[in-house]
Structure 1
Amino acid sequence: MRRLPGLPAHKALRYGVSFDRKLFDRYGLFDEQMATGEDTEFLERLPKAVVPLWEPAVLTVHRNETRLIRVIVDQYLRGYRYGTYLKSVGHRKPLRIFKGVFRDRRNVGKFAKEGLAEEDRRFAMLSLPIVWAALFAKSLGAAVGVTHGDRTGTRP
């Protein structure tokens, strides 16, 4: 939701970014030990002057799950990997992690209204119960990942 094309630059996250090879030569490669969050960790190493610009006209298409149970499982696994990442950087409180991830449900509607065109916004608003269920699964996965996960994120 923080990559919707209509969002202003200060609210948009820069995931799925393409990097010039020169940046890797200068600032190092992605951390291959990380199962998730490697792009975030790399972006944090970059000086502000070379952080990617937000260009809403550049769109990334993802092949997401289309069946409800698969959406729920996918989000749980994404949450689990996120939890293992949080564990690797020192976070250890599963309830706090669960609440932090699930808190995003408050922003879903706001970002949809701000970041989507009218025809897409209506569909997104009708989909909110599914989004909330998926976010609950992601939150649960994050809490389990921070508790039981290993750094590779391979043990759900």
Structure 2
Amino acid sequence: MDTITPFLWFDDCAEEAMEYYVSVFPDSSIGEVMRYTEELEDMGEQFRGMTGKINAAWFTLAGRRFGCLDGGPYFTLSEAVSFAITCEDQAEIDHYWEKLSHVPEAEQCGWCKDRFGVSWQVMPAGMDALVGTPAAMQALLGMKKIVIADLEAVQDR
């Protein structure tokens, strides 16, 4: 086996999601895109109205391969699966948070959800050391976006 590739099921916004993600992450690009054809419309209700939508597509985010499709409303994304972004500094955390957090009620401890329903964990490198004390863990539990300076400030308590 060469690799395991995450594959995202979208209702009908796979192309928009791919284009957005590629604009957010460095070292990213859209690869092969296969579309539903008109001939599939006669194969069943699930294909009606899908002509031109993404049947399967491949894209790279920060050097990692992903796949996606427009599959209709049969399955939805949830917080049960998320993608972790390890950031070098607060500026990088702020960048990804601003680009990816679109559902305020889903925010906690560095977790956010984007406008397409994908969950992300935006965290600093060395997270284990930053939350190594009870005071730091308590501070983390009160955060939405992680603020490194606030975690560092409670390290000695």
TM normalised by structure 1 equals: 0.27
Q: Quick check: which one's strand share is greater?
A: 2
Q: Quick check: which one's helix share is greater?
A: 1
**Structure of greater relative contact order (alpha carbons < 8 Å, 6+ residues apart):** 1
TM normalised by structure 2 equals: 0.26
